[in-house]
A and B are shown apart, each in its own frame.
Chain A
Amino acid sequence: MGNHVIQQQIQMQHVNVKLILQNHAASDLEPLIPVFHEWIQDQPSGELLLDIADYRHVPAGPGVVLIGHEGDYSVDNTDDRLGVRYNRKAALEGSNEDRLKQAARAALHACRRLEEDPRLGLELRFGGQEIEIFINDRLLAPNSDATRDAADPEIRAFAQKLFRGNDYSVTYESDRRKLFKAVLKSAKPFSAAELLESLG
C-alpha cells in the first residue's frame, strides 16, 4: 500500500537518458552535423525530426542537438561529459518502467547509429558503463529527497534489468536546483546492442 502511494506521487514523464561516451573529454562534433541532417531527411526513429541546433561554441553545453517533435537527440557535453542524450518532450502513456525503457531505447538506438556511421570514425562510442537518467520536469519530479525515495526502487529495478543482474551503483544529483538525476554505473561494460537486448 505504501509503495503504491509513493508511485502515484512521482510520474516519470519527460525522461532523459544520456549514455556517457568513451572519449568523453573532448571530441570534434562537426562531422555530426551532416549525419543529423541525414536523419532529418530519412526520419529513421519513427519520431518527427525537425532541425539542428549547433552549440559547439558553448563550453560544457548541449553540443549539437537534433530537435524533434516528440523528443530531441543530442551529443551533449553538459558537465564536460560527452554523451548521446535523448530528451523525451511529448507525454507518454504507460508505467514509469515503460517510459524509462522508451527513453533508454531511443538513446541506445541513436548511439548505435552514430557508432556505425563511417563518417564519425570511432570518435563517438558508448563507454558501456555510465548512464544518466533525468526527469525533465521540476513539478513532477523536483530534485528532493522525497523524489529520490519515490523513484529509487523503480530506477534500481530498471538498472537491474538493463545490466542483467550485474553489479551497479546509483548516485543522485545533489544540487537541489538541478534536474532530478540518477547516475547508473555498471561494474561490467556493455555495448549499446547488449543493453538494447536487455530491454527486450
Chain B
Amino acid sequence: MKVSNAKWAERLDGEMPESLAREVDIFETELTLRKQGKVDERLIAETRLRRGVYGQRYDNGQRHNGKAVQSFTYPSGSLTKGPSTMWDAPGMQRIKIPAGGLNAGQLETLAELAEEYSDGIAHVTTRQDVQLHYVHIEDTPTVMRRLAAARITTREACGNSVRNVTACPYAGVCQDQAFDVTPYSKAMSKFLLGHPDCQNFGRKFKPSFSGCSQHACGLASMHDLGLIAVTRVENGKEKRGFETYVGGGLGAVPYQAKLFDAFVPPDEILPLAQSIARVFAARGEKKNRSRARIKFLIQDLGIEKFRELVLEERKNLPHDPRWTELVADAETFEETPLRPGGMAPLLGTEAFQRWVKNNTRPQRQQGYVVVTIALPLGDITANQLRSLADIARRFTNETIRATVEQNIVLRWISQADLVEVHKALDAAGLAQPGAGTIVDVVTCPGTDTCKLGISSSRGLSAELRKRLNEKSFELDESVQGLHIKVSGCFNSCGQHHVADMGFYGVSRKMSGYAVPHFQVVLGGEWENNGQSYGLPVIAIPSKNIPEVVSRLTGRFAGSRRNGESFKDFIKRTGKVELKRMLEDLARPPADPSDRSYFRDWGDPREYGLQDMGIGECAGEVVSPVDFELAAAERELFEAQVAWEGGQIEQAGATAYQSMLRAAKALVKIETQAVSDDPGQIVREFRARFYDTQKFFDPFAGGKFAQYLFTAQEKSGEAATQDSARYLIDEAQLFIDAAHSCYNRIATPVSV
C-alpha cells in the first residue's frame, strides 16, 4: 500500500543483518508469486504466519454490520492470502521480542511502524510480543526490513514453530531469583530460531524462563518448555541449573507442565531443547490440530516414556558447538546502571506516592528500583513510545522489558531519580498507578480484531478498568492485589485460567436471542509460576460481569479469614455457594425491552436481531433444547463439585453424562427417536452433527465433538485426578459448542 515500499530495501541496504535481509527478500518474492497465482493459498498462509503475518477478524471479506452480513469488495478482487482470507483485508503483524528486551532505538522503530503502517498503536501481548493491527500484507516486507535494521525479527512469531522465548522481566534484578536467566533465554531464542529440527511441528511450541519458582513473571508451568533457575552445591561450589518442565499450556483445556528434570546444567539446555523438538516433530500429532500441542503427546505417552525418548534422542544428537558457545558468557552477563543508586524520596505528591506503591519494585541491587509502566489493555501510542525511549536514555542504559502482564518495565532506575522519572512518565501519559493490581486487567484482543473472538474481551476489560479505577482507592487492600484476566474465547490468550477472576467469551441464548456471555473462571493462581488453574463456575451475560466482580470482591473483603488468599477463599466458599451468589445475574433482563444485554461492551451491534425481528421478544418461549442444555450445564456443575470433593470417579462419569445430555439435546432437534443409550446418542450425534459439520465451530472445526468421541472411547477406564479434570474442562467446551451450534441453527449470527 505504501508508495515507498519499493525503495526501503535499497535505503536499508547494509543496515540489516544479511540473513534477515535475505529472508525478507524471499518472503517478498513469495508474495509476488502468490499475486501471480503461482503459489497455493494454503502455502502462502503458512509462509506468512511463520513470519508473524496473521489474519484479522472480517478478513474473509464479510462483516455483520448490525443489520445484515455485509460483503466487502476489495481492489484485488478475489485474490486471497490464505483460505477464505482476502488479500487486501487488513491483518496483524506480530513482532517477537525475546525475553521482552527492548532498547530505546527499537521503541522508536516500533513507533514509526505503528504510525506508518498500523493505526498508531503498538500492542504488548501476554507473551512479551508486540503486535501491530490493520496492516496491509504488501506493507509487511517493509515493516520486516525496518525491524531488521533495528535487530528485530518477526520470523516464527506465528505458525507451527518455536514462538517467542519469554523470560521473567525482572531477571537479573529480582530479589528472589536464583540467577539471571536473561542470557540463557536469549541463547535459546537464537539457537532455535529457524533451526532445522523445529520446522516440522504439528503446532506451535512456546518456551519460557523463570528466575524463581514462587513468582509468576515467567509462567513456566503453563509453557511447552518451562525452565526455572535453580542452584545446587557440588563439591563446595554453587552450580547453576534449570528445573525443567514440559507439556504445560493453557488453550481450551489447560495442562500443568510436568517435571522433566530437576536440574539441567546450563550447557545442556540447548541440546535438551533440540532433543525435545525432535521428539515433538517426529511423534507429535500432525493432522488433528486440536491434539497437536506437545502436551497431548506427553499425556498420551506419559512423562516417563517421553523422557526416555528425549534422552535417547539426546544421546544420538550430533554435536553442535553452539550448545556451549551461546551460553559461554552467561555467568558474566550483567546489565549496568546509567546513574548512581540513591535513596528514595520520603515525600511527594499523593499521585506520586500511589504510583510508587504499586509501580516500583526494589531491585536486588541497593539504591535501584524497577519501574512498571501500566499500559491500558497493553496499548501504547507512537508518541508514548518515543517519550519512553527518551526516558530510558535519560535515566538508564536502555534497560527496558515488556512483561507477560502487557506492561513495560524500566530497570535500573535510581531511587534518587524517582520523582523526575514519575514527572517524565506523567507528561507522556504513562504514569497510571495500579500496576499489577486489580485495575491492571489483562486481556486478549477478542472480537476487536481476532477471528476467534466470541465476546468483546477488550470492551469488557476497558469497562472493568474504568469502574475499578474510579473506586480503586476505596477498595480493600486485599482486593487491590487481585488479578483479572479476560479472553475473548476458550483459547486462553488472556490467560484467564491463571487469574483470581478469569473470564472467557461464550455465547448463550436468552429470550430467544444470542447474547454475548463470559464464563466465570475462579480459583486460578497467578503466583508460583501460574501453578494452579481455575474452574468455570457459571456463564454470565457480558453486561453483568462488572457486577460479578463487585459481588466477589465485596464478599472476599468482607469474609476473608486471616490473610486468606482469593484462591483459598474460593475453595472455602465452594462452587455451590458461588453459583448461588451469581446465578441471578445469568437470568434474562427483567425488562424485556432492555436491549443492552444483546450488545457487547463497546459494540452497538445487536446479536441475532436481523433474524428475530426488532421488538419480537420470545422470552417466554423456552425450547426443549434450551432446557436440556441447561440440564447438561447443571450436571457438569455437579461434576465440578464432585471433583473438588475428591470424588474423582463420580466427577468423570458425571462430566461424560453431561456431554451425552448436550449431544442428545441436539440430536432431538432432528429426531425424537433417540434413547439414553450412550452408543446410540454418539452414533446419532456423529451422523447428524459431526459428519454434516453442523456442529463445527467456524474456526475450531470438529475439535469439541472429538472430546465426546474420546470420552466415549475411554468411558470404561478408571479416572485419575488429572483425567477427570481434563474431562470436566472438555465437557464445558463441548456444552459451550452445543449452545453455539444451537444458536447457529436457530439464529444465524455472524461473529
Q: Name A's B-contacting residues (CB within 8 A).
A: 11, 13-14, 33-34, 37, 40-41, 48, 50-51, 53-62, 65, 67, 69, 72, 76, 78-79, 89-91, 136-140, 175, 177-179
Known contacts A48-B72, A48-B73, A56-B462; 8 additional CB pairs below 8 A are A48-B74, A58-B121, A58-B379, A58-B429, A60-B383, A69-B72, A69-B75, A89-B136
Which of A11, A48, A53, A179 is most buried by chain B, counting CB atoms within 10 A of its CB? A53
Q: Which of B108-116, B229-237, B676-684 forms part of the interface with chain A?
A: B108-116
The reply on B191 being an interface residue by CB < 8 A is no
- By a CB distance below 8 angstroms, the chain A residues around B429 are 58-60
- A40-B70, A67-B119, A78-B120 as given contacts; A55 in contact with B379, CB under 8 Å: yes
- Verify B116–A137 contact, CB threshold 8 A: yes
Choose among A60, A72, A78, A138 the residue that contacts B112 (Cβ–Cβ < 8 A).
A138
In the complex, what distance in Å separates the CA atom of A92 from the CA atom of B451? 31
Assess whether A139 is in contact with B11, with CB atoms less than 8 Å apart.
Answer: yes
Interface of B is mostly: mixed
**Stretch of B58-66, B93-101, B561-569 that contacts chain A:** B58-66
Complex CA gap A90/B88 in Å reads 11
B115: chain A residues at CB < 8 Å are 136, 179
Do B376 and A40 touch (CB < 8 A)? Answer: no
7 pairs, A vs B, C-beta closer than 8 Å: A37-B603, A55-B121, A62-B121, A69-B88, A139-B8, A139-B11, A177-B108
Is B65 in contact with A41, judged by CB distance below 8 angstroms?
yes
B410-460 at interface with A (beta carbon < 8 Å): 429, 432, 448-449, 458-459
On whether the beta carbons of A50 and B90 are closer than 8 Å, the reply is yes
- Whose C-beta in chain A lies nearest to the C-beta of B605? A37
Query: Considering the chains assembled together, what is the distance between the CA atoms of A168 and B317 in angstroms?
Result: 74
Contact assessment for A41 and B75 in the assembled complex, using a CB-CB cutoff below 8 Å: no
User: Given A33-B602, A41-B70, A78-B381, is A53 in contact with B65 using a C-beta cutoff of 8 Å?
Assistant: no
Docked Cα-Cα span, A53 to B134, in Å, equals 9
**Given A37-B604, A53-B119, A78-B383; A14-B3 close (CB under 8 Å):** yes
Interface core residue of A11, A55, A76 (most chain B CB under 10 Å): A55
Contact with A along B593-613 (1 / 0, CB 8 A): 000000000111100000000
Q: What is the minimal beta-carbon distance from A46 to any residue of chain B, in angstroms? A: 13
Task: List, in ascending order, chain B residues with CB within 8 A of A58's CB.
Answer: 121, 376, 379-381, 429
Contact with A along B379-411 (1 / 0, CB 8 A): 111011010000000000000000000000000
A79 to B387, CA, bound (A): 12
10 smallest beta-carbon distances between A and B, as pairs:
A59-B429, A139-B4, A34-B604, A62-B120, A57-B376, A13-B3, A41-B65, A91-B3, A61-B381, A57-B462
In the bound assembly, the distance between CA atoms of A50 and B75 in angstroms comes to 14
Q: Which residue of B lies closest to A179 (CB)?
A: B115
Interface size on B, residues (CB 8 A): 53
A102 to chain B, nearest CB (A): 14
Looking at the complex, which one of B63, B459, B462 makes contact with A40 (CB distance below 8 Å)? B63
Please measure, in the bound complex, the distance between the C-alpha atom of A179 and the C-alpha atom of B116, giving whole angstroms: 9
CB of B90 within 8 A of CB of A67, answer yes
Is B276 part of the contact surface with A, judged by Cβ < 8 Å?
Answer: no
Interface of A is mostly: loop
Q: Are B65 and A40 in contact (CB under 8 A)?
A: yes
B133 within 8 A of A: yes
In this assembly, does B655 line the interface, its C-beta being within 8 Å of a C-beta of chain A? no
Considering only CB atoms, which chain A residue lies closest to B8 in the complex? Answer: A139
Of all chain A residues, the one with the shortest Cβ separation from B68 is: A41
- Interface residues in chain B, defined as those with a beta carbon under 8 Å from any beta carbon in chain A: 1-4, 7-8, 11, 57-58, 63, 65-67, 70, 72-75, 88-90, 108, 111-112, 115-116, 119-121, 133-134, 136, 376-377, 379-381, 383-384, 386, 429, 432, 448-449, 458-459, 462, 465-466, 602-605
**A72 / chain B contacts, CB cutoff of 8 Å:** 119, 134
Determine whether the beta carbon of B66 is less than 8 Å from that of A41.
Answer: yes
The chain A residue with its CB closest to the CB of B376 is A57
- Known A48-B74, A51-B58: A57·B121 in contact at CB below 8 Å: no
Q: How far is the CA of A57 from the CA of B384 in the complex (A)?
A: 14
- Which residue, A50, A78, A179, has most C-beta atoms of chain B within 10 A? A50
B76 to chain A, nearest CB (A): 10
Which of A60, A62, A91, A179 is the most central at the interface, judged by chain B CB atoms within 10 Å of its CB? A62
**Cα of A162 to Cα of B386 in the assembled complex, Å:** 33
Q: Given the known A-B contacts A136-B115, A138-B116, are A50 and B63 also in contact in the complex, defined by CB atoms under 8 Å?
A: yes
Contact between A140 and B604 (Cβ–Cβ < 8 Å)?
no
Residue contact B63 to A51, C-beta cutoff 8 Å: yes
In this complex, the member of B63, B119, B120, B134 whose beta carbon has the largest number of chain A beta carbons within 10 angstroms is B120
Q: Is the CB of B119 within 8 A of A65?
A: yes
List, in ascending order, chain B residues with CB within 8 A of A61's CB: 120-121, 379, 381
Determine the chain B residues whose CB is within 8 A of the CB of A139 once the complex forms.
4, 7-8, 11
> In the assembly, what is the distance between CA of A84 and CA of B162, in Å?
42
B-chain residues with CB within 8 Å of residue A40 when the two chains form the complex: 63, 65, 70
Chain A residues near B604 (CB-CB < 8 A)? 33-34, 37
CB distance from B427 to the nearest CB of A (A): 10
> What residues on B are CB-neighbors of A140 within 8 Å?
3-4
Contact of A69 among B74, B376, B379, B380 (CB under 8 A): B74
Assembly CA distance A40 to B90 (angstroms): 15
B605 adjacent to A79 (CB under 8 Å) = no
Q: How far is the CB of B16 from the nearest CB of chain A, in Å?
A: 15
Contacts of B74 in A (CB 8 A): 48, 69
Task: Tell me which residues across on chain A come within 8 A of B605, comparing CB atoms.
Answer: 37
A119 to B: closest C-beta gap in Å: 10
- Can you name the residue of chain B whose Cβ is closest to the Cβ of A11? B3
- Nearest residue (CB) in B for A137 is B4
Taking the closest CB of chain B, its distance from the CB of A157, in whole angstroms, is: 22
Chain B's nearest CB lies how many Å from the CB of A95?
14
In the complex the two chains form, is A91's CB within 8 Å of B1's CB?
yes
In whole angstroms, how far apart are the Cα atoms of A175 and B2 in the complex? 23
Chain B proximity of A128: nearest CB distance (Å): 25
CB-based contact A90/B119 at 8 Å: no
CB of A71, distance to nearest CB on chain B (Å): 10
